[in-house]
Amino acid sequence: MGVCGAKVVDDNPIVDEHNDSKEPAKTEKRPQKIASQDGPQEDKESSDFDFKETLKSVLLLILNRLVTALEYEQEGFLDLAQKRSKKNYLELLAPQHFEKLLRDTFDLDAVKPAEPELERSDPSYEQQRFFRILEASEKAPFRPGITRDKLIAAVQKATKETQKELRDSAIQSQSSDLKIHLLFFAKALDVVAGDIVNHPELLYSNIDDICEPK
C-alpha cells in the first residue's frame, strides 16, 4: 500500500439540459455513510483494524528501507560497528527489540521466514536474516489478542530503543553520509510518536508530515 493517500475529487456536476438560466448547475451530493446495523462496536472494530494495518505497513516499510540502506553502505557501517564494539552492522539499529516485537505480534509460525542464503560468518548474514523476518511479517496475520493499544505500546517501546541506537551511532560516525542515513531513519520513526493511543488520527497526520513535509 502507498503511505500517502490520494486526494478525493468531487463528482462531476449534474447538468440540466433544459435549464437555460445562467445559474450554476447544482452539484450532486455524496451519499451519507449508512451506519452499521450492529452499531458503534462494529465501526470501532473496523477502525481499529484499519489503524493496525496502517501502522504495520508503515513500520515494515521504514524498517525495510533502513535495513536496505545499511546493506548498501555496509563497508562504512562495518567500520562504525567495529568502532562501537558491535558484532555486526545490523546491531547499529538494536534489532533485537524489533525482532521480539515482530515475533510476538505476527504469526510467524504460519508464515515461516526463509533461511538466509549466506554463511553465518558473512558480514551480511544477520542483515539478511532480519530482512527475511520483515518479509514474513508482511504476509503474516496478527496473533490473537493483539489490540490496537497493545500494538502501539510495543511499537513505541521498540522504536525508542532503535532511535537511541541510531543517534548514538550517528554521534560516533566520522562520515557525514552515514550520519545522514542514521539520523534520517531515526527521524522517520517519529511517525509513531505522540499520544496515538488516545488520538489515533495523529498517526495519519504523522504519515502526511513525512510524505509532504511542511
What tens-digit pLDDT sequence spans the chain (214 residues)? 434 443 333 344 333 444 444 444 443 443 343 344 556 677 778 889 999 999 999 999 999 999 999 999 999 999 999 999 999 999 999 999 999 999 999 999 999 999 999 999 999 999 999 999 999 999 999 999 999 999 999 999 999 999 999 999 999 999 999 999 999 999 999 999 999 999 999 999 999 888 776 6
- Please check whether residue 60 lies inside any domain of the structure: yes
- Cα 1 from chain centroid (whole Å): 11
In a domain, 33, yes or no: no
Domain count, the chain: 1
Asked if the structure places residue 56 within a domain, the reply is yes
Give residue 27's pLDDT.
39
Residue 174 lies in a domain: yes
Exposure class string for 134-152: b at 16+ Cβ within 10 A, else e: bebbeebeeeeebebeebb
Q: What pLDDT is attached to residue 214?
A: 60
- The predicted structure's pLDDT at residue 210: 80
Q: How far apart are CA 98 and CA 79, in angstroms?
A: 23
Instruction: Indicate if the alpha-carbon torsion angle 118, 119, 124, 130 is positive or negative.
Output: positive
Assess if residue 131 is contained within a domain. yes
Q: Is residue 9 part of a domain?
A: no
Beta bridge partners of 142: 106
Domain span at 132:
42-211
Tell me, what's the pLDDT at 213? Answer: 60
Residue 211 has what pLDDT?
75
- The H or E element spanning position 89 is none
Handedness of CA 96, 101, 104, 106 (dihedral sign): negative
User: Is 16 within the bounds of a domain?
Assistant: no
Residue 207 lies in a domain: yes
